[in-house]
A and B are shown apart, each in its own frame.
Chain A
Amino acid sequence: MELFERKIMAVDDHRGIRKMIDAILRENGYTKIISAGNAREALGLFEREQPDMVILDIMLPGEDGFSLFGKIRERSDVPILFLSAKDEDADRLYGLGLGADDYMTKPFLPEELALRINVILKRTYHVPELQKEREKSFFLGEREILPERAVVRYQEKEVPLTAKELMLLTKLNENRGRIVTFDALCAAVWGDSYYGCENTLMVHIRHLREKLEEDPSHPRWILTARGLGYRLVKE
Chain B
Amino acid sequence: MKSLFRIIRRYSLMAGLIILIILVSNGIVLTAIGYYTAGQEGADKYYGISQRLMEQIGEGFQAGAEGYTLDKKGMELLESSEFVWAMALDQEGAAVWKWRLPEEIPEQYSVQDVAAFSKWYLADYPVKVLIKDELLLVFGCSPDMIARHNLVVSSVLMAHALDYFKIFVLVNLLVIVLFILWFGYRFYHSMKPVAQGIEDLAAEREVRLKEKGPAGDLAGKLNEASELLLAQRRVIAKRDMARTEWIAGVSHDIRTPLSMIVGHSDRLSKDKSLSEKNRMLAENIRRQSLIIRRLIADLNLTSKLAYQAQPLKKNRLCPAALARSCVADFYNKGLEGKQGAEYEFEIVMKEEMEQVCTFADEGLLARAVRNLIGNSIRHNPEGCRITVTLTEQEGSIRFLVEDTGPGIPESVVQNMENADSDIHIMGLRLTEQIAKAHGGGLEFVQRENGGYDAGIYIQTNGHDTVQNHENMI
Contacts and interface: CB of A to CB of B under 8 A. Distances in A.
Q: Do A and B truly interact?
A: yes
A67 to B, nearest CB: 19
Given A106-B259, A178-B332, A190 B469 contact: yes
A228 B328 contact: yes
B263 interface: yes
Given A23-B267, A87-B297, A195-B355, A182 B260 contact: no
Among B261, B293, B469, the one with the most A-chain Cβ atoms within 10 Å of its Cβ is: B469
Nearest to B271: A27
A17 B260 CA distance: 6
Given A109-B262, A184-B325, A227-B347, A87 B267 contact: no
A183 to B, nearest CB: 4
B338 interface: no
A105 interface: yes
Interface in B420-473: 466, 468-469, 472-473
Contacts of B469: 190, 194, 197
Given A16-B260, A181-B325, A228-B347, A110 B357 contact: no
B222 interface: no
Contacts of B256: 14, 17, 85, 106
B354 interface: yes
A84 to B, nearest CB: 9
Interface string A194-235: 111110100110000000000000000000010111000000
A178 B331 CA distance: 8
B300 interface: yes
Contacts of A196: 354-355, 466, 468
Contacts of A146: none
Given A179-B332, A195-B357, A227-B347, A108 B259 contact: yes
Given A85-B252, A225-B328, A107 B466 contact: no
B258 A106 contact: yes
Contacts of B328: 178-181, 225, 228-229
Interface string B275-315: 00000000000000100010001001000000000000100
Contact of B255 (A107, A111, A181, A228): A107
Contacts of A111: 266
A195 B253 CA distance: 43
B318 interface: yes
Contact of A107 (B259, B300, B318): B259
A3 interface: no
A227 B300 contact: no
Given A194-B469, A196-B466, A198-B354, A105 B263 contact: no
Given A16-B260, A227-B324, A200 B297 contact: no
A228 B468 CA distance: 19
A195 B297 contact: no
B324 A182 contact: yes
A34 interface: no
B95 interface: no
Among B258, B261, B324, the one with the most A-chain Cβ atoms within 10 Å of its Cβ is: B324
Contacts of A149: none
A233 B388 CA distance: 25
B259 A20 contact: yes
A88 B357 CA distance: 28
Contact of B324 (A164, A181, A197): A181
B141 interface: no
Among B248, B259, B313, the one with the most A-chain Cβ atoms within 10 Å of its Cβ is: B259
Interface in A14-41: 14, 16-17, 20, 23-24, 27
A71 interface: no
Contacts of A108: 259, 262-263
Nearest to B257: A16
28 contacts: A20-B259, A20-B263, A20-B264, A24-B267, A85-B253, A85-B256, A86-B252, A87-B252, A87-B255, A87-B297, A106-B256, A106-B258, A107-B255, A107-B259, A108-B262, A109-B263, A110-B263, A178-B328, A178-B332, A179-B328, A180-B328, A181-B324, A182-B324, A183-B324, A190-B472, A194-B469, A203-B473, A228-B331
Interface of A: 14, 16-17, 20, 23-24, 27, 59, 85-89, 105-111, 164, 175, 178-184, 190, 193-198, 200, 203-204, 225, 227-229
- Nearest 3 pairs of A and B residues by beta carbon: A85-B255, A183-B321, A107-B259
Given A107-B255, A110-B267, A227-B347, 10 more contacts: A20-B259, A85-B256, A106-B258, A107-B289, A109-B263, A110-B266, A195-B318, A195-B321, A228-B327, A228-B345
